[in-house]
Amino acid sequence: MKGAFITFEGVEGAGKTSRSRALCKSLSDLGFEVMPTREPGGTPVSERIRDILLDTGLVTPPACELMLFLAARAANVEQMVTPWLLKGAVVLGDRFTDATLAYQAFGRGLARGDVETACAFAAAGIVPDLTVLLDLDPELGLERHASAGRTPDRMEEAGAPFHRRVREGYLQLSRENPDRFMVLDGKLPPERLDDLILRRTLQVLREKNGGLVR
């Protein structure tokens, strides 16, 4: 069995974490080995970097922020994503390279070419087999988090124009990579989204394994 790397992308509150958990459960129930990861985080060192990144009390200029995200990703790729893919697992990513392009290039305004070069280095050749983009008005996403009682972290506090650029950035990336991206309306009911995501994931797994999956 060849593994696959499925990433979830979208603005804050779009549903990445809930939808990736649902996919994790469905695939596990079907007998697949699934390894969920999150960004930034996923390994002890990247969880420590996550705490720095989300601290509202720290000033992290855009280039510093980029490097911290990529430092966390490099550890996640080396210690989690690559070894689990080699074992044939389905690895789920709650954010990956597309998030860095959307947030640090489109959102913060760092030069896209520079961000791409740095991302390629951190990802060590790992490109998702499928990227689920949950598209949502960022205002609605932030409202979802607020009504769930979550206090905004540093990225969430960045302001409405920033989050609108991030959303547009994601849509631009999806237009540039139509085969890899599955763009879904984040306002659809969870069960409908989960069904669409599971079907597409199974299709990707079949394609990678010459039609032979459980």
Ligand X SMILES: Nc1ncnc2c1ncn2[C@@H]1O[C@H](COP(=O)(O)OP(=O)(O)O)[C@@H](O)[C@H]1O
Query: By the criterion CB under 6 A, which residues form the site for ligand X?
Result: 10, 12-18, 144-145, 148, 186, 188, 190, 193
The neighbour count for residue 191, using CB atoms within 10 Å, is: 9
**Contact region for Mg ion (CB under 5 A) — 15-23, 41-49, 108-116, 118-126?**
15-23
**Contact region for Mg ion (CB under 5 A) — 8-16, 22-30, 50-58, 197-205?**
8-16
Q: Which does 165 bind (CB under 5 to 8 A by kind): Mg ion, ligand X, none?
A: none
Min. distance of Cβ 192 from ligand X in angstroms? 8
Min. distance of Cβ 10 from ligand X in angstroms? 5
Min. distance of Cβ 119 from ligand X in angstroms? 20
Contact 19, 190 (CB under 8 A): yes
Q: Is 17 in the site for Mg ion (CB under 5 A)?
A: yes
Q: Going by DSSP bridges, is the β-strand pair 34-38/90-94 parallel, antiparallel, or unpaired?
A: parallel
Amino acid type, 32: F
CB closer to ligand X out of 29 and 191 = 191
Q: Is 18 in the site for Mg ion (CB under 5 A)?
A: no
Residues 6+ apart with CB under 8 A from 101: 112, 115, 116, 119, 169, 173
C-alpha pair distances (Å), 195 with each of 20, 22, 23, 184, 200: 12, 10, 9, 12, 9
The DSSP H or E segment spanning 121 is: helix 112-123
CB closer to ligand X out of 88 and 190 = 190
Which residues form the interface with Mg ion (CB under 5 A)?
A: 16-17
